[in-house]
Amino acid sequence: MQRTQIGIPSLVRIKPGAMARVGVYLARMRASRVALLSSHGLPASILERFVASLSSEGIALVHHTVVEEASYEVATQLAPQLPAHGLALVGLGGGRALDVAKYVAHLASVPYVAVPTSLSNDGFASPSASLTVEGRRRSFGCSLPVGVVVDTAICLEAPTPLWLSGIGDVAAKATAIVDWKLAFHARGEPVDDLAALLSDATVFQLMGRTTRDLEGERLLATALLLNGVAMEMAGSTRPASGSEHLVSHALDRYASRPRLHGLQVGTAAYLVSAFQRGSRERVERLLVGTGFFDAIRADPFVRDEWIDAFRHAPEMKHDFHTVLTGRNDVLDRVAAMLDEDPVLGGCFR
């Protein structure tokens, strides 16, 4: 049975200069006090702009923790430390800080506002937090943020590989939706058509604008946000995660040096699309058009680790049907693509 009520962000600001108005947005939410979890290494100028924005609206910063480790242990230690009454929790910076902040807010039952400073994946607006437990990465369900504030001018200053990682995470939605529909035909797994349509549309949205500029950052932020909403609508990760994510999970577990999530799932989506009908053209057009594979060539993946990741991918999530389920030709075809596909030239060593 489909859920009749979902929680989605009611505050969404995606524009240049948004950081200077965070205080205004929080004041409109009637937040008089703010707890902040920020990324380790966040530029001082960004933190100063954030704090100045709070001060201009008379909002008190009552707690600030710099997050160095995205772990369940850190999150559960932080949650009881938050002050009560009139509090909003803000996550500021990159993925680690935002994942911890999102889960802390969930545990403490306080409103959460995500303020990402880069757009490397959809985690800033997804209904789950990626945290380690005793060193092993796991996903924990939690509430979506009530607000998302993206200063596109700040995101534009982030390193290009982070932007390309976000592009890869969007490209992965094309293969994820095909896998979801395959699971419906193979096993009767329910598909939320609107969630699938919303997620699929974000890929088409980016295909029309592959330039990295303020508008490109706005479109990428919007696409990643809408994928978080699609997952909330579906009550699962299916709109955004399929076999390509299983490959990435296997790399996280077995590779000698796991890379950015979006770089892994984007590359995996390109490989997986060769086994599917209907996803290859979109994935290739988006990744090639943005220069995605240039980031891979600058730091090539290890060929044998990827073949091993495809071997282990079906084990990563039991009872999760994808295009890789039950196939015995996967490893040979993947090996051939890694060696011969011209798009992947220079991406593996």
Q: Where are the domain boundaries for CATH 1.20.1090.10 in the chain?
A: 160-344
- The dihedral sign for the CA sequence 19, 25, 26, 27: positive
Distance CA(261)–CA(252), nearest Å, equals 9
Which one has a higher pLDDT value, 81 or 249?
249
Q: Where are the domain boundaries for CATH 3.40.50.1970 in the chain?
A: 11-156
Distance CA(40)–CA(65), nearest Å, equals 9
φ, ψ of residue 293 in degrees (nearest 5): -70, -15
Give yes or no for a contact between 143 and 106, defined as CB atoms under 8 angstroms apart.
yes
- 30 pLDDT more than 80: yes
* Closest-CA residue to 334 (of 297, 303, 312, 289): 303
Distance CA(291)–CA(173), nearest Å, equals 18
pLDDT tens-digit series, residues 218-240: 999 999 999 999 999 999 999 99
Q: Is 311 helix (H, G, I), strand (E, B) or coil?
A: helix
Strands 136-141 and 128-133, by their bridges, are antiparallel
pLDDT tens-digit series, residues 88-143: 999 999 989 999 999 999 999 999 999 999 999 999 999 999 898 987 888 899 98
Band (pLDDT 50/70/90 cuts) for residue 4 is low
Q: How many angstroms separate the Cα of 260 from the Cα of each of 59, 193, 264?
A: 35, 30, 6
φ, ψ of residue 332 in degrees (nearest 5): -65, -40
Distance CA(109)–CA(93), nearest Å, equals 21
Domain 11-156 has CATH 3.40.50.1970: yes
CATH number of 160-344: 1.20.1090.10
The mean pLDDT value of the chain amounts to 94
Q: How many angstroms separate the Cα of 151 from the Cα of each of 116, 247, 292?
A: 8, 32, 23
Percentage of the chain exceeding pLDDT 70: 98
Q: Is 112 helix (H, G, I), strand (E, B) or coil?
A: strand
